[in-house]
Amino acid sequence: MTNLTKSRILAFLAIFCWFLLFYTQTNIIIVASCIAFLTYPLFKFIHSKYNMWVSVGIYYFILFLIIVIPLTLIALLVTPQAINGYNTLLLWIDNGLQVPKAYEEVFENVYNWLITIPGFQSSTAEITALIKKTIGQFIQILLTGSLSFAGNTINIAFQIFLIIFLSGLAVVYAPTCKKIAIRVSTLPEECINRFINTLQRAVRSIFLGIFFVAFIQGILTGIGFFIFGVKDAAFWGLIAIICAVIPILGTALIWVPVAITTWVNGSFYSALGIVIWGMIVVAGADNFLRPYCLKTGIKTSIIVLFFSIICSIITFGPIGLLIGPILVAFGVQAVEESDYLLTLHNNAKK
């Protein structure tokens, strides 16, 4: 056995040891790795001016400011409104999901239209019972999820701490990781460098095109709700941030029901304003910013990226928002490197 083979075996062993240590925290590793790819140029800049320990301390401090403080501010802003909404839902359940008079009138008009359709035979009582049952089940799931989220606050805080810690660990040991990648893959160093650059561009595009755009859309949704008099606008803006990352539907899952509710409550012009704001301002930000941000870092069409996100979400869950575009970028670069190495091989034969 040659020393080169032994070196590769030991490199595989190192990877296997780290895998055994963190394989139960796959999602955290993926998020931390993406943050490390995104922030490694910052760490290199800091390290060029200070020694390792000082650089690591400054890096962790900046990461803390970027991640923890905004989350804390959002929690302080939204929690009072979230508690108010939670209590309102509980009161509605205690009252037997009693529908306001205005909603009953709208429902009656819809039913009068439905009975004109041939073959439609359901009574208003049956439809009302079905709607109440569906809404009740949805609210119970929502409340259960909210209690579970609140009860897991310590676990969430620990996961955030672990993501920050592992991100720092990754940037510190980035040269070692690169060295192991070269030994395991036996690819030329310039190929590995191009893969690293590709992943850095892809992660930057994902954070800008998906998460930053979602954040902007949530803020715009909250501003629109505030302008048109929607109660607890900040809370619904936060929910819009979460929904904004969902392909196709996005923030429409929030502003469409809110617009309908506002209209039913008698505020037609406010409802119309919400719809116009959602379609032009909120959706416009998505249609303009997201394709631009994603296309600048990943060399493929926006349609391929769109379907890669949907498929990866179906396969991997929410973390698929990161995995899908990264796999596309990695696959495109792998094809380019394959062509490059084949060209070198053919030229060497001539």
pLDDT in tens, 132-189: 555 555 555 555 544 444 445 566 777 888 888 889 888 998 888 888 888 888 888 8
* pLDDT surpasses 80 at 283: yes
Measured torsion, CA atoms of residues 176, 177, 182, 188, in degrees rounded to the nearest 10: -90
Q: Return d(Cα 155, Cα 190) in angstroms, integer.
A: 41
The Cα–Cα gap between 127 and 132 comes to: 9
Q: What is the DSSP string of 108-163?
A: HHHHHHHTTSTT----HHHHHHHHHHHHHHHHHHHHHHHHHHHHTHHHHHHHHHHH
225-236 pLDDT, tens digit each: 888 888 778 778
Mean pLDDT on 73-91: 63
Identify the band that residue 59 occupies on the pLDDT scale cut at 50, 70 and 90.
very high
User: Tokens 């719809």 map to which residue?
Assistant: 275
Q: What is the pLDDT of residue 70?
A: 74
Mean pLDDT lowest for which of 38-47, 99-108, 319-328, 335-344? 99-108
pTM: 0.70
pLDDT at 58: 92
Residues 6+ apart with CB under 8 A from 44: none
3-state SS class at 248: coil
Q: What's the CA gap between 183 and 2, in Å, rounded?
A: 14
Q: Is 17 exposed, middle or buried (0-12, 13-18, 19+ CB in 10 A)?
A: exposed
| Per-residue confidence (pLDDT) for residue 208, from 0 to 100 | 82
Specify whether the CB–CB gap between 41 and 62 falls below 8 A: no
